[in-house]
A and B are shown apart, each in its own frame.
Chain A
């Protein structure tokens, strides 16, 4: 499956900005089942300085600074991605979740150090006992880890209402848990915190989701959005991605951009400005399937 993706982020400021610095994680990652064949950023106005580096999670980071007065700024990323089918382990055949958790208690084997860093608290996710309580019904004794994860995903999907007005980027998880409402970021965070509360590693994945138009309708351009889901670790197999917002394991519809412990590690575009008064951000994403 091949896609052409356009991701447009536009800032408009009420007063001119003297300096702005941005860090963007927009380049789709290369994974076992995904190749980013083309990637480019374009800017308006052109930044005075751009640099690239890879962060500690392996994400490509583009940093750009504009050092002259500007009242708006736009960055557009265009990428071409090619996906192949994901081989999914049979959930019933995966190890019991307790055995997986045991692997991440000290001492941790050297080949598990990478997943190990995703078992702890992270800046936005202080997994605490309420999340464990929420998770517990899915983690029955001896249940295979992926079966437990599938159950957790199903429960989030069933018990929570998708409501973009219910939360903002800084809504804490406790509130999401109490109101049972949120967006994909909240559901991903909830799933991650639940897994970690059980002693299991979990990663936050930022990316795109192909949207399918209703039958008989044409695909609308630019109405897509960035998406977020979760990656859990299955020993002997590796990371398995699932999407609690849509209650599914990911497939040819999910395009991975960046990985981290939570949203704060992978924010697609983050900016700090000097001056500028009030500002607004407009984001447009288009995920176009190509043959």
Chain B
């Protein structure tokens, strides 16, 4: 590719040595084989739910993460140079931060223009003078580098505040190592785990408390953030609790995590919230993402942040213009890797220079600001050119100009063939006691087209795994054996955050709601299929009544109109499955499951996530097939949903330890099932046909208890036996008694129930209703005077159980989920009485 450095081939068109193994491996595959790689990569990413900007306003997963299956390869020798240069740069930027938040010698001596500290929005005055542990405000650093046509590497951007993307690099690695296992092994690709292990150690060492296992949390701005997936992924990989601002509270100048059993101290915060948003009390007070009082806790030395508050100062584009001089001043060395040529317009000479050559430069804010604008001088019309100059002359110090770099190209798979695409590479570093350590790998980003001036994931770019080759054998590190001292065995993980408990509880509820609804709809659909010709009217009506009382369909026609309204009924049943605007439809429930799944990203396994995606796939697949037999399609969808939810419950049961998290999931599940069975019996058995064995068969089928019944009684179903099985039998996992026993069992393990001398309100509700059930006699229950259903013992009992569930749910919310949001109590504007005029 003319004008670009070709990463793959040298000037004589020979494949560069470090690419040989990969090229040989790819050559072994035909075009279809490479396409398969690409498809597999896409499928794996989708299954693992890897996404960027996970959640959009419409409530869907918006942008899947794009990864090209052909990795970017860097030779050992080349990497050595990059490594050395970036360690130097991290050291330098750290020193600039330490000075700027301390003695400010650089601006006093004129080594750095005053504006580069004092005018920066990233310079957080409340943080000036706060000592930083080990004088390392820059714990994690990211550098974007790219190669110009002459083969030279340049730094095109520094990330000193929140270097995002290391988690994506890890995810890319997981996938390519699976796609290309042989060449990955044979080519001696360096592993990433050692870097993350160092990161764990470095962050743990920041803890102000001298404790064996300091508590590190990852502070996220929440699921709406574009890299939320990565944050949740990293939190899980590193073993950190993922928290939002409202999960934390400051008491006595210390930071605590709100958990089910009270407040637990937090030692270190790995921060993904922008620093000015971190404390509404002392920083930007229009943000409620942060933790009020956090700056005080930092000032008191009771918590450490990575990176330190205010560290965004060093990533200003204008800073690049001064790094060569600063490097000589501070480190007594020459800067090893140049930054892209940068002019800061706040000085007269550079300003005059850029005015002369405006069309060859890129203009941007001198400081890193939100919603930054970039102007390509060459693309400007004469009017735009003049307008830009006027704005620059008004406040020249706010502008920087940079040269454009023609990025090198790397082989990339696109539309069935290998093409050359411009790439830039983000490299990550972490502070260690002896300087910085570089991640031997990187996130390579691919521009969407050759003339695209920007490499951006938001603008349709893709990414690549980055293989750094080793000269020697590759070290194998796993993250779990991080300490040499044997771990202290424990049976319970860290205490569950109350927000997470709330999400798990609702996940359980929605999953059960979706499953119950699917079962009931399936049994109903089966009984109004064309071949039955509505002949089973007496059976259909009770089921429709149950659907109505559960709020799944709106109205039920009278028995005489049933046959005539078959089409309308079918339409309503289909709506109850597919209609996104119907609040109780299966689709709405699935949407809730997905929404909560996103919020619990760090808590649920990849397999569980896969099941959750399958749920909506099942619904979407039916949408897309314009079938002539919608009813049979619907039945298939329902069966698929029921199976997926069975695996969801199965996975939860098998893979979650019986700790608090699982208890809340299961309680949600049980509460919902209680409502559902009660409503089913209440609506289904009020009919005059209640003794009809076919109706009882249908009820048993919906209640998933047919097999159990047949095992016990080799007779046609009888009412008393059905009541016994679905209500009183403590061994039937679909029966009411069983649900109560389970909820009660969970409750006895909850911290506040254990500490309380009296019965808590929730426990009172549970015991009361469980006892009612226990005291029932099934034959008594089955004795209902004709026309007296509502007054019967069974109807009253079922109604009591239904009414008890919201009370139970409310009691749980008050006891465990209560966490109020913060708000500003307001600044008071100075407002004098009107002065005499």
Contact = CB atoms under 8 A, between A and B. Distances in A.
Contacts of B688: none
A276 B292 CA distance: 15
A113 B108 contact: yes
B292 A21 contact: yes
A92 interface: no
Contacts of A206: 830
A99 interface: no
Contacts of A274: 249, 292, 820-822
A110 B108 contact: yes
Interface in B113-137: 113-115, 118-119, 121, 125-126, 128-129
Given A21-B293, A51-B296, A162-B835, A270 B827 contact: yes
A245 B837 CA distance: 10
Contacts, number: 170
Contact of B113 (A106, A129, A265, A272): A106
A279 B826 contact: yes
B115 A49 contact: no
A107 B110 contact: yes
A109 B435 CA distance: 35
B834 interface: yes
Interface stretch (A28-36, A142-150, A225-233): A225-233
Interface in A252-285: 263-265, 267-276, 279, 281, 283
B835 A223 contact: no
Interface string B288-306: 0000110010011000000
Nearest to A163: B834
Interface in B787-837: 820-835, 837
Nearest to B390: A129
Contact of A227 (B104, B114, B395, B832): B832
A185 B820 contact: no
A269 B252 contact: no
A18 interface: yes
B253 interface: yes
B253 to A, nearest CB: 7
Nearest to A260: B125
Contacts of A23: 281-282
A11 interface: yes
B200 interface: no
Contacts of A67: 251-252
B284 interface: yes
A53 B110 CA distance: 29
Contacts of A113: 104, 107-108, 114, 118
Interface in A205-241: 206, 209, 211, 223-228
B284 to A, nearest CB: 7
B346 interface: yes
B825 A11 contact: yes
A272 B397 contact: no
B280 A272 contact: yes
Contacts of B454: none
Contact of B833 (A21, A197, A211, A269): A211
Contact of B118 (A51, A110, A120, A276): A120
A53 B825 contact: no
Contacts of B108: 110, 113
B568 interface: no
A108 interface: yes
Contacts of B114: 106-108, 113, 116-117
Given A106-B397, A273-B822, A164 B831 contact: yes
B829 A185 contact: yes
A275 B826 CA distance: 14
Contacts of A78: none
B535 interface: no
Interface in B639-691: none
Given A106-B115, A225-B833, A272 B292 contact: yes
A132 interface: yes
B830 A225 contact: yes
A275 B828 CA distance: 20
Contacts of A246: 835
A162 B108 CA distance: 42
Main secondary structure of the interface of B (DSSP, over half): loop
Nearest to A18: B820
Contact of B281 (A21, A263, A279): A21
B285 interface: yes
A157 B630 CA distance: 75
Contacts of B252: 48-49, 65, 67
A93 interface: no
A178 interface: no
Interface residues of A, number: 67
Contacts of A197: 394
B824 A272 contact: yes
B496 interface: no
Interface size range of chain B in the complex: 35 or more
B359 interface: no
A195 interface: no
B449 interface: no
B558 to A, nearest CB: 48
B118 A225 contact: no
Contact of A271 (B119, B282, B825, B835): B825
B13 to A, nearest CB: 50
B250 interface: yes
Nearest to A107: B110
Nearest to A257: B830
- With most chain A CB atoms within 10 A of its CB, the pick from B109, B282, B348, B395 is B395
Interface string B616-657: 000000000000000000000000000000000000000000
Interface in A20-56: 20-23, 48-49, 51, 53, 55-56
A55 B125 CA distance: 8
Contacts of B285: 264, 270, 272
B129 A56 contact: yes
B452 interface: no
A187 B792 CA distance: 76
A56 B128 contact: yes
A183 B820 contact: no
Contacts of A227: 830, 832
Contacts of A132: 394
A5 B497 CA distance: 46
B708 interface: no
Nearest to A158: B837
A113 B116 CA distance: 12
A21 B646 CA distance: 48
B115 A263 contact: no
Given A21-B281, A53-B299, A123-B284, A106 B346 contact: yes
A169 B827 contact: yes
A19 interface: yes
A19 B828 contact: no
Given A63-B296, A106-B397, A228-B830, A120 B825 contact: no
A128 B391 CA distance: 9
A268 B253 contact: no
B820 A120 contact: no
Given A56-B129, A123-B284, A183 B825 contact: no
Given A53-B299, A121-B121, A185-B829, A19 B251 contact: yes
B125 A56 contact: yes
A113 B112 CA distance: 12
> What 6 A-B pairs are tightest by C-beta distance, nearest first?
A275-B820, A271-B825, A272-B292, A120-B119, A226-B830, A56-B125
Interface of A: 9, 11, 18-23, 48-49, 51, 53, 55-57, 63, 65, 67, 105-108, 110, 113, 116-117, 120-121, 123, 128-129, 132, 162, 164, 168-169, 183-185, 197, 206, 209, 211, 223-228, 245-246, 263-265, 267-276, 279, 281, 283
8 contacts: A22-B825, A48-B251, A51-B296, A51-B300, A106-B347, A272-B281, A274-B820, A281-B825
Given A107-B114, A273-B825, 8 more contacts: A53-B299, A120-B115, A184-B832, A197-B394, A225-B833, A272-B292, A281-B825, A281-B828
